[in-house]
Amino acid sequence: MILDLKELKKSGKVSETFFFEYFADKNLSGIPDTEIAGPVRVSGEIVLTGEHSANVSGEASFEIRGNCTRCLAQTVKQYVFEFSELCDEASDNPYPVVNDKIYLDKIIDDTVISDMPMTFLCREDCKGICAGCGVNLNESECKCK
Ligand SMILES: [Zn+2]
Ligand SMILES: [Zn+2]
């Protein structure tokens, strides 16, 4: 998704909302045995802060499907991550404005990578699998002596 500052300025507005969907790299979550299922839905707002700069904010929501990190149960979870970045022409800006365009995919990808928890749990208090007897402790009692 590309946000075009030129179009926005031409319209005479200083801000605009946007919504789009895209298919991220399935492994973007970075958690083993999981993948992003379906499209990433992005909604947000772009606000001009200068001739060639703008603040881009909003949220990205998506589902992750995979095996619980602790008990390996098949799990589907919904995630929502918020982002807010000031994009300008500075050479050290990680999300620069290039030819009056902002490339939103990189902002979303980086947000997902930095905000994603390290574990993927079927529920917050998942008890996992006993290392001794191999029993799923969510479903039955440990059989170890
Ligand atoms: Zn679990
Ligand atoms: Zn056990």
Q: Are the C-beta atoms of 116 and 29 separated by less than 8 Å?
A: yes
Q: Are the C-beta atoms of 72 and 129 separated by less than 8 Å?
A: yes
- 131 within domain boundaries: no
Distance 74 CA to ligand 2 centre (A): 21
Query: Residues within 5 Å of ion ligand 2 by Cβ?
Result: 130, 132-133, 142, 144
Distance 74 CA to ligand 1 centre (A): 8
Using the predicted structure, report yes or no on whether residue 145 has a pLDDT greater than 80: no
- 105 within domain boundaries: yes
* Total-model pTM: 0.84
Nearest one of 119, 105, 106 to 30, comparing CA atoms: 119
- From the CA of 72, the nearest ligand is 1
Distance 138 CA to ligand 1 centre (A): 8
- 35 within domain boundaries: yes
Using the predicted structure, report yes or no on whether residue 29 has a pLDDT greater than 90: no
From its phi and psi, is residue 14 left (phi > 0), alpha (psi between -120 and 50) or beta? alpha
Q: What is the count of structural domains for the chain?
A: 1
Between residues 48 and 23, the one the model is more confident about: 48
pLDDT digits (tens, 9 = 90+) for 77-124: 999 999 999 999 999 999 999 999 999 989 998 999 899 988 999 999
- From the CA of 143, the nearest ligand is 2
**pLDDT at residue 108, as a whole number:** 92
Q: What angle do CA 115, 4, 60 make, to 5 degrees?
A: 20
**pLDDT at residue 96, as a whole number:** 96
**pLDDT at residue 66, as a whole number:** 95
- From the CA of 127, the nearest ligand is 1
Q: Residue 22 is part of which domain span?
A: 2-115
- 21 within domain boundaries: yes
- 133 within domain boundaries: no
Distance 129 CA to ligand 2 centre (A): 8
Distance 122 CA to ligand 2 centre (A): 20
- From the CA of 128, the nearest ligand is 1
